[in-house]
Structure 1
Amino acid sequence: RFKKLSMGKKTFSDSSKTKPKGAGRVGRLDDNVLGYYRKVSETIQGEFETQEEKDLFLNNVIKQLATECISVSRNQTASRIIEQLIAVSNATQLQVLMKAFSTDWYTVCMDRFASHVVQALILHSPQYFKEKTKDSEPNDGNNNDDGNNNTDAEGSIKDLFTSFSKLVMANLPEFIIHTYASHIVRVVIEVLCGVRVDEHIVRSKISRNQNNKGPHGPSDKKAQVSIANSEEEFKPILKELAARIVSLSEIREHVKNATASPVIQTLLLVLSKKGPKRCHKIINQIFLEEASLGTLAEDEIGSHMVELVLSVLDSEHYDSAYQQHFKGKLLQLALHHTGNFVVQTLLSKAHTKEQFEAMYKELSHHIEDILAANHMGVIVKIAETCVRLGTRQDKFYKNITKAFHCHKPEERQQHVVRLLTSLTAYEVYFGLEVKPTEESDEGDEKDTKAAEPTPVEKELTVFNYHGSMLLQQLLKFGNPKSLVTSILSLTQRELTSMACNPIACHIIESFIKSPSIGETSHDKLYTKLQGCYSVIACDRTGSRVIDTLWNCAILKHKFIMAENLAKESEKLRNNNFGKFVFRNCGIHNFIHRRQDWKENQKGNIRKRKILDGIFDDEKPQNKKRQNDISHEENIQMDDFFSVNGTDDSSPPKNADSDSKSSKQDRFSKKDFGNKKSKGKNLKKDRFKTKSDGQIKDKGMLKLLDDMQPSRKK
């Protein structure tokens, strides 16, 4: 809407010769007129004492606007104000505006600013399709009709929209390739089908940014809700409109046109949700009858169409499209600067293991070539699909390590995290001479027994976005043993730098959250970070990592963290980010009321596990295993606190009696440790635990709220 004029050749002088005198002032308004509508905008944004007062004001404004709506809507400032008016108008007022614009739909649809007003009108009309409107114009209490604004004409809002849809169909060849009118066609398709398309299809990036900042943002949100109702009588109109679009003589050129392609994409999207059979039929007519998808995949505009087509196809049609258009061409597309995005969509939309494995077979031996082309998106998508479909994980990891020259000798694999995070090969990272790789007949590197030169230790300081994304996916694999070893081999300083880096911090979070990594590895990480927790907590990014580490920690790990943080309590309190960690981790209680802190944390962990059991719908054996782990935590923490000290306010107890009492209390609870409980009673016991685990201290509720990772002052 506010795109700058092209800096290319100007043709204004030539075109102006054919325009009538004064045509250059289209959209300009008198200062008084523009000032009036600015005051209207200010009044709308304010508050009215009563709804009647608001209706009266809007009636007067709409009455005035109806006499000059076409000329006013062509002004940049006034058009935005009209959109605000449309957002707050009722059915009768909207009907008046639609009738006023219907005198010259063609002009406003082709105008740079008025077209946005038409979009707003069409988007807001569905909410009033079933509402009866008055057959008289809105008035200010004086029933003096001047004849020009009389709305006692035929047509409800639905009728006006229907006639407008037919006008769009009549001018479709011109509208579909017009910069501004094409947006009108998209909105009409959405309303006819009753499906709202994502903004990245309907609006350009510039328009979306302005829409978020503009005053009419809420109106689009309202329209998104109201458009969800489609009328039965619109189906023939939608069917005819779709047929006309497909039958356009230059349809295959339109899919590569920056203006027409989004219109076709909108049609396919709405039909995929309301009429999948019709959608597949149109796709067959346009694309699948000829081998055109493979060619379009390398076109900057057509590639977006190909991605959308792949996203709306079901498993059967997806497989057919791959076999007919992409089989044997994946490497070529993966190395292409535009085609690699289509390959990413192909991978992410694979429905079955067989489909993915066929594609992986084409790409598996060329991972290094794809890396050399700097198309890391393809590599990350392969990893994501390996996780999603649970296949080819070991082979992909092997191919990745080969591509980074750290597969053999095995000593190199301890550096895999450094190499992936910095996205550099082994020789480049350590500054060694690059030697050609010898491969056996099976495609594996020969395991030479030549002495491997010991690389000079180099600290990890460079973090790559795509390398971080790849590592996060690899940590979700079923057996990330090598990665775990590599991460734990990092120095304390490297781990601290990683935790405080906006890109690499997610690697540590994925390490903690991964279901494939056990408590032993977690314990090593928590222990290795000792002495660095306060440094990480005082960093903008690191404080978030501390929150994640804290929320995922068992009681023993929380004690390690709290003990380290307590040593720097004053530093935390005086830091803008550390103060939140100080509060969320309950460091004040840890220092002054340690026994209370311990009980509070036990209660939090117990409640979290209960909720996990309810919402995750875990299997009975997993629940039993979690209960066993919780007993181990209690046993370990009883011993841990007996070694590290207890609350100062309570005298130390005899070790034997404490041990006996803790055992007795532990096995007296029905929810934890009852080995005789059967699977059928787990659900009942689980809900008993909820009441057993409640803390009687009234201050506990406040503490639970305080422990949430809030960032509000």
Structure 2
Amino acid sequence: MEKSKHGRRNNREDGNTGRGRGKGRPLGSSMNMNPGGKKNENALQPPNASTSAMNVIRKKVDPETAKYFLEISNLFDNKEIDLEDRSTICANALEETKGKELELVTDGVISHTLQILVQGCELEQLCMFLRSCIQSFHVIAMDKFGSHVAEAALKALATHLEDDTSRVIVEEILNRICKVIAADATNVMCSCYGSHVLRTLLCLCKGVPLDSLQDFHTTKRSAVLAERLSGGSSRPGDQNLTSFEHGFPDMFKTFVRQMLQNAKNDISTLLTEKNSSLVLQTVLKLSAGDDDELNHIISILLGYDEDDTAQKKDYSEQKNKIVALLEDTAYSHLLEVIIDVAPEELRSNMLIGTLKGALFAISSHHCGNYVVQALVSSAKTADQMKQIWEELGPNIKELLELGKSGVVASILAACQRLETNRLEVLFST
């Protein structure tokens, strides 16, 4: 392919005929898949796969299109593209995807090339590409290869948020993507690929800077413990709230509410499924500081359907259920974040109504002990700490023998911070 053609397809038969594996990508081109109409192994079908997702028929990439994108890929691999020609070639190549977006983005080889194209094109071409595949975006997000293209496109959109004119265009695209994802919320959340794309989408709607995305995708417990023991804020996102300058807060809230509404019949599954738990943790961390939204979200997650009922109802009716669920790793991670971000009144109710009388049993568990650490570190008054001490103070030595030094360290740090029970601490240790 000659560079003067700026990436436009021609009908010549010469040129490169193949390409090795993309860096870090397995060879999974749909050109070589589905012989004899066999079932596509890349088609992800979660337990509750939606009708629309299951009925998608994957077409094989035709040889001419496959050859064209291999030639485009070779141009990038061989660094044969001048900087001034790059955006033009990307635009022309993206035009070739029209009507074939789904089979191309889910192709193991071509998807790698498309990642480069969506990152190198202008906003107009990026939006044209996304508009063409928005109705299949949930399917793409749940695909092993398509998810990488979806994430690359979302991150490319994020680079245009500082320009007011571009923001209007980006907002329109994001709104449409959010509606498609929300309509199939349970499946996307439970997909290992969809979960990652969805967390990036949530961060983009909220306005999280690209270099801070990982802070909201996952949380390392060791880092959280260090923050708690140092006396720092235990509310994820607090230090970043002022950085959310380029987000769409109303869109974010609407998106979250639509997802929870559409997934309301599957909440019990979402709480204990690893991938969906990660999405819910991201939602909570991004909502830190917005007490109204947190009350709404946490009410639903703890088993109440109405706004603010978690704040008002007797938690004791949920106690056995919540304590039992703490045996699950995904749920314990989620409840830990809930405690970290919950509004003060809600957090106090959880301490008094739900976990009271069960703190030592939970502290002894390999998952639940992190929830207790979060609860201890969240104590704001000496009275709250005294209530915790009544249950855990007499068991300090036993906790140490059980290897739960993190719980003990959190207790010591909280007693020091709140200047309470320090004498008892000395005698108990």
Give the TM-score of the pair, scaled to structure 2. 0.67
Q: Which amino acid aligns with 1:364?
A: G
2:344 maps to 1:334: no
> For the residues of structure 2 that align with 1:226 and 1:67, how far apart are their CA atoms?
39
Taking only the aligned residue pairs, the percentage that are identical comes to 19
Change (3 A) 1:3 1:36: closer
Tell me if structure 2 keeps the 8 A contact 1:73–1:113: yes
Higher relative contact order (CA 8 A, sep 6+): 2
Q: Matched residue of 2:144: which SS? A: coil
What residue number does 1:307 align with?
Answer: 336
> CA 1:60 to 1:263, structure 2 compared with 1: closer, same or farther past 3 Å?
same
CA distance in 1, matches of 2:134, 2:300: 35
- Name the SS for the 1:301 alignment partner: helix
When residues 318 and 360 of structure 1 are mapped into structure 2, their CA distance, relative to the original with a 3 A threshold, is same
C-alpha separation between the residues in 2 aligned to 1:362 and 1:226?
Answer: 40
Structure 1 residue 250 corresponds to structure 2 residue 263: no
Structure 2 CA distance for partners of 1:325 and 1:3, relative to 1, 3 Å: farther
**Which of 169, 175, 194 is matched with 2:182 structurally?**
169
Given the superposition, is the C-alpha separation of residues 235 and 184 from structure 1 closer, same or farther in structure 2, using an over 3 Å criterion? closer
Going from structure 1 to structure 2, the CA distance change for 1:378 and 1:76 (only over 3 Å counts) comes to farther
Q: TM-score, normalised by structure 1?
A: 0.42
The residue that corresponds to 1:662 in the other structure is none
Which of the residues 271, 281, 286 maps onto 2:301? 286
1:111-162 per-residue CA deviation (whole Å, 9 max, x = no partner) reads 11102211232343244366557xxxxxxxxxxxxxxxxxxxxx94432322
The yes-or-no answer on 1:189 pairing with 2:202 is yes
Residue 27 and residue 263 in structure 1: after superposition, are their counterparts in 2 closer, same or farther (change >3 A)? farther
1:266 matched residue in structure 2: 282
The answer as to 2:127 corresponding to 1:95 is yes
Determine helix, strand or coil for the equivalent of 1:298: coil
Q: CA deviation at 1:317?
A: 2.0
Amino acid aligned to 2:408: I
Distance across 1 between alignment mates of 2:405 and 2:179: 47
Higher gyration radius (CA): 1
Deviations 1:541-575 (A, max 9, x none): xxxxxxxxxxxxxxxxxxxxxxxxxxxxxxxxxxx
Which residue among 238, 241, 250 is the counterpart of 2:258?
241
Q: In the alignment, is the contact (CA less than 8 A) between 2:382 and 2:418 conserved in 1? A: yes
RMSD: 3.8
Map 1:73-152 → 2, pairs under 5 A: 73-102=105-134, 104-128=136-160, 132=165
Partner of 2:214: 199
Structure 2 counterpart of 1:352, from 377, 381, 384: 381
Question: Matched residue of 2:282: which SS?
Answer: helix
Tell me, yes or no, if the aligned pair for 2:376 and 2:414 is still in contact at 8 Å: yes
Which amino acid counterpart does residue 71 of structure 1 have in structure 2?
E
Go from structure 1 to structure 2 and tell me whether the alpha carbon gap of 1:271 and 1:3 turns closer, same or farther (over 3 Å shift). Answer: farther
Structure 1, unpaired ranges of 5+:
5-15, 134-154, 206-224, 401-713
Letter matched to residue 354 of structure 1: D
* Aligned-partner Cα distance in 2 for 1:79–1:226: 32
Once residues 135 and 265 of structure 2 are traced to their aligned partners in structure 1, the CA distance between those partners, rounded to angstroms, is 30
| Alpha-carbon offset, residue 276 of structure 1 | 1.9
Deviations along 1:429-467, whole A, 9 cap, x unmatched? Answer: xxxxxxxxxxxxxxxxxxxxxxxxxxxxxxxxxxxxxxx
1:354 positional shift: 2.1
Deviation at 1:334, TM superposition (A): 1.4
CA deviations on 1:362-412 (whole Å, 9 max, x unpaired) are 222212211221122112222222333333334323322xxxxxxxxxxxx
Whole-angstrom distance in 2 between the partners of 1:166 and 1:338: 35
Matched residues in 2 for 1:285 and 1:3: separation?
Answer: 39
Measure the CA separation in 2 of the matches of 1:165 and 1:194. Answer: 15
User: How far does residue 258 in structure 1 lie from its aligned partner after superposition?
Assistant: 1.6
Point out 4+ residue stretches in structure 1 off by more than 6 angstroms: 25-31
8 Å CA contact 2:256–2:283 kept in 1: the answer is no
- CA–CA separation in structure 1 for the residues paired with 2:399 and 2:214: 32
Report the count of equivalent residues. Answer: 342
Q: Which residue of 1 aligns with 2:84?
A: 52
Contact residue 123 and residue 227 of structure 1 kept, 8 A: no
| Structure-2 separation of matches of 1:382 and 1:161 | 44
1:178 aligns with 2:194: no
Please tell me whether the aligned partners of residues 27 and 72 of structure 1 are also in contact (alpha carbons under 8 angstroms).
no
Please state how far the C-alpha of 1:69 moved relative to its aligned partner: 4.3
Q: 1:64 to 1:131 in 2, by over 3 A?
A: farther
The aligned amino acid for 1:172 is A
On the 8 A contact 2:329/2:367 being kept in 1, the answer is yes
Contact preservation (8 Å) 1:111, 1:180:
yes
Separation (CA, whole Å) in 1 of partners of 2:129 and 2:322: 44
Deviations 1:293-322 (CA, angstroms, capped at 9, x unpaired): 333323221101110110012332221110
Q: Would the alpha carbon gap of residues 339 and 239 (structure 1) be closer, same or farther in structure 2, given more than 3 Å must change?
A: closer
What 5-or-longer segments of structure 2 have no aligned partner? 1-23, 27-33, 43-57, 221-241, 303-309
Aligned-partner Cα distance in 1 for 2:280–2:70: 41
The answer to whether the 8 Å contact 2:88/2:121 transfers is: no
Could you say if the C-alpha distance between residues 93 and 324 of structure 1 is closer, same or farther in structure 2, counting changes exceeding 3 Å?
same
Whether contact under 8 Å (2:118, 2:126) holds in the other structure is yes
CA change 1:370–1:236 in 2 (3 A) is closer
> Does the CA-based 8 Å contact 2:202-2:252 persist in structure 1?
no
